[in-house]
Chains A and B, each alone.
Chain A
């Protein structure tokens, strides 16, 4: 077996040194009845050629988004990742290192995390960010629980255009950890005013920008309403590229930002692993979940980096920790950091402009298809269309023609008739004129 270096001679010599008759003898503490005498009923070892063939066959049964004209978003976005990103994250010193608990031999990972935290704080307009969460949905749930700790209150109001996976993840935690969620009905036009719902029990209001249906909104007034009532404003961002063009949550008065960072540096990968971004105000830093890299000096006075404020964390604080999170999304955060470093101010801004421009062009084409109307007043790179008939079969028909034509809202709300005809469509820098023409033409033909 190519990954196992011990030879039979090695094993014999080692057993002799140990004073055991056999490897089986080392398992003597396992109850006899629970010890298997032979391999379980699964295929035997395979060489590289066979494994590659078997998994390549499974991969070939899928339609890769890049092989189609692809306009899917709804929280996961197909962007171009520069070649240098994947090369650098595959350096073994990054790929195969552990969590940087031993700072003297982990300065590379720690400095990269410090840079990641700075980038996230800058683009969200917040003071501080952590070293990543699993994904945007879990970051959002952690934000709600952090708001509970900060305010010592137990109710969260979730906007109707919060991503339904984010809502459901928060609801799971609420059900068992014993706090209240007020989840508003889906709100494609983003008209719902949440301010009147805030009361003395409200720990936080959770909104999303751009909203799940694409609407771009100003939450400054809502932030004021929250703060007057002693509640926090949590702003969710599922499309991190929007932060290159749209006013940041920090500018609008957010207290916590919970975002999905997949758009920067990370492929779609069928939905995971992705990378949760978590940022907040300086005054709340000791209530944050997750790891933090911090600056310090070594015994010679040289600047260096360590994991810090770990007294918030499970390995020190156990049942009193701010979260149970341990492993996060380190390598995805590194991919984010490298991609963002390549983009820089000019590249990130242009990437966002390009996404918006493509969405505007796509909208012009799609809204011209007979029977199709645009639901949104505003949008960044994603928008919602109302079709003259249920969207799900339309999307299936488009897929047969090589167009991945958006996400039907019914995928998230199969029981709601008012969602059936809504189609959520995204455009990015990867979409060409030809893709957009193919989508518009295909949609016209399917609806004819």
Chain B
């Protein structure tokens, strides 16, 4: 190893690949792990000397060091700033991930969530000191109930999958109260993976129902599967093919006639918000991802919030706590008593994702009833525009109109040697986050695109030109270039098989990786 590459320590190996002395490539700066920047004695905080006291730990002091690295504040700020620059984000470009609703996150909502009157509130303060917080929760509940037409909402679920759990447990509790032991849940093949996983977590068995040639639930197949042991159907609507289940009323009718409940996965509520109320479609409960439809930031994987709207038949089973109006203002019911005697219990600590509630309500109030109607209209218009413009070069799985997302499959790549994955990775080199790939499972090599309503037309036009160009390049027989993509990212394709075969899930001081680098 040369002198300079030794001096560069952990960067030596990257330098060779980058072709620069230090391993950086212009604005793409290599950044080691925090643990590789450790200088014992450094700290990024200045805390006062603890006053001398006789300790009350009963002899249970930690023995030996923890092993946390010491860094100063400028190092920490630079470290995480550099890491941030290795991420794609809505703030940097179009994020066409189908079923994820990656729309603009207004900064007003961030500002309001940080008001001390919301952010600096302890959940167990006396209720007289948190009336404004309970008012905000109650107001959010009102908006959600009006927008869905449903009489009740459970606010504590922490994310979409947690909302599914909440809804399906309400159904379990309602069945228990009816003295019925129905244990089979019908889930379409096109469903999100969370649906069958949730049903299983609630003690149900899962029975898949096939799609018809039009990409919707096959009503006849559904009817054939219904029986006295069926507890519920879990249906996403609009579905994950980007299509509205146009026989939804008939589906609701046959499900109810069989004595089962209708759970709707509301991940795609953005397509219909302000225009269609789920209550009018015959559903019994639905979760709403506040981090999708109501634009609370995804944050690289959460936190989210997954309130669940409930029909009258399920409302009594909503999990604790409940916010109610009392004689002296708002009150919290935190125990299964009084009107909440049948509540199914608690799903998490405290009262729900307050920080997300503030952001979602700010988003709703900013748009208003008229703006929310425009949200779904523009979201659906943008998706149909992609379908119209790309339909000739890509292969649409189903004819339009679509809802807020449009599904293509990989037939347009037949014989090119280019896969959906290659195509998506080539899109990265063009400066775009890929669309959702290989989901839903009902078509081959799926490419699911959701532009959302916050993309301008000229932005869509550029994206369309790029996708068309890539499709033509693939058909022209340039498969090797696709397989080599992406080339301009901080890292190129990563070996996921090796990562899973011999998992390295944390840094260790004696890791051979580090010895090799030094």
Contacts and interface: CB of A to CB of B under 8 A. Distances in A.
Interface stretch (B89-97, B220-228, B409-417): B89-97
Interface in B127-145: 128-133, 135-136, 139, 143
Nearest to A396: B126
A215 to B, nearest CB: 8
Contact of B132 (A46, A61, A128, A329): A61
Given A268-B122, A272-B349, A274-B350, 15 more contacts: A18-B400, A58-B117, A64-B116, A100-B87, A118-B33, A168-B346, A176-B169, A246-B60, A272-B303, A273-B305, A316-B193, A330-B301, A346-B41, A360-B55, A407-B124
Contact of B272 (A30, A86, A119, A285): A30
A96 B298 CA distance: 6
B448 interface: no
A343 interface: yes
B505 A134 contact: no
Interface stretch (A150-158, A191-199, A225-233, A287-295): A287-295
Interface string A371-413: 0000011111000000000000001100100001001000100
A97 B62 contact: no
Contacts of A41: 146, 369
Contact of A272 (B45, B352, B455): B352
Interface in A298-313: 298-306, 308-311, 313
A64 B361 CA distance: 20
Contacts of B389: 17
B476 interface: no
Contact of A292 (B291, B428, B503): B503
Contacts of A54: 365
B270 to A, nearest CB: 13
Contact of B92 (A93, A172, A246, A363): A93
Given A343-B68, A345-B65, A56 B89 contact: no
A19 B277 CA distance: 27
Contact of A216 (B57, B135, B248, B381): B57
Given A97-B88, A314-B161, A315-B193, A104 B490 contact: yes
26 contacts: A17-B389, A26-B380, A26-B381, A27-B275, A40-B277, A58-B136, A59-B112, A59-B115, A76-B124, A95-B89, A95-B91, A95-B110, A103-B494, A104-B486, A104-B492, A105-B433, A109-B87, A109-B301, A272-B356, A285-B503, A315-B194, A318-B196, A326-B159, A331-B297, A344-B43, A411-B334
A90 B297 CA distance: 10
Interface pairs A-B: 10 shortest CB-CB: A271-B350, A59-B117, A331-B299, A92-B91, A61-B132, A271-B123, A330-B301, A342-B44, A273-B303, A45-B368
Nearest to A134: B158
B299 A105 contact: no
A360 B41 CA distance: 27
A96 B498 contact: no
B60 A216 contact: yes
B304 interface: yes
A253 interface: no
B301 A51 contact: no
Contact of B401 (A20, A62, A128): A20
A302 B13 contact: yes
B67 A344 contact: no
B354 A270 contact: yes
A369 interface: no
B136 A55 contact: yes
Contacts of A353: 50
B272 A114 contact: no
Contacts of A19: 388
A313 B203 CA distance: 18
A300 B17 contact: yes
Interface in B32-61: 33-35, 40-45, 47-48, 50-58, 60-61
A160 interface: no
Contacts of B202: 176-177
Contact of A302 (B67, B491, B498): B491
A314 B34 CA distance: 31
A377 to B, nearest CB: 6
B490 A107 contact: yes
B129 to A, nearest CB: 4
B347 A341 contact: no
Interface string A341-361: 111111111110110111111
Given A88-B77, A100-B301, A345-B69, A44 B369 contact: yes
A193 B365 CA distance: 54
Contacts of B135: 58, 61
Nearest to A272: B353
A137 B384 CA distance: 43
A65 to B, nearest CB: 5
B210 interface: no
Given A55-B115, A299-B493, A341-B44, A411 B124 contact: yes
Contacts of B136: 55, 58
A327 B304 contact: yes
A296 B361 CA distance: 41
A118 B197 contact: no
Contacts of A351: 45, 47
A324 interface: yes
Contact of B434 (A42, A102, A129): A102
B31 to A, nearest CB: 7
A175 interface: yes
B500 A29 contact: no
A438 to B, nearest CB: 16
A448 interface: no
A329 B505 contact: no
A100 B120 CA distance: 30
Contacts of B54: 360
A111 B95 CA distance: 21
Contacts of A34: 249, 276-277, 280-281
Contacts of A445: none
A38 B159 CA distance: 30
Nearest to B425: A104
Interface string B158-198: 11111011000100110000000000000000001110111
Given A42-B146, A172-B346, A296-B495, A35 B275 contact: yes
Contacts of A45: 366-368, 370-371
A413 B67 CA distance: 40
B515 interface: no
Interface string A216-237: 1110000000000000000000
Contacts of B347: 138, 169, 172
A370 interface: no
B96 to A, nearest CB: 11
Contact of A328 (B51, B125, B248, B302): B302
A136 B135 CA distance: 26
Interface string A43-80: 11111101110111111111111110010101110100
Contacts of B114: 86
A44 B372 CA distance: 9
A342 B83 CA distance: 16
Given A94-B87, A331-B300, A378-B57, A61 B131 contact: yes
A62 B33 contact: no
A6 B381 contact: yes
A446 interface: no
A387 to B, nearest CB: 16
Given A63-B129, A91-B81, A111-B31, A429 B494 contact: no
B143 A42 contact: yes
A65 B115 CA distance: 12
A394 to B, nearest CB: 11
A50 to B, nearest CB: 8
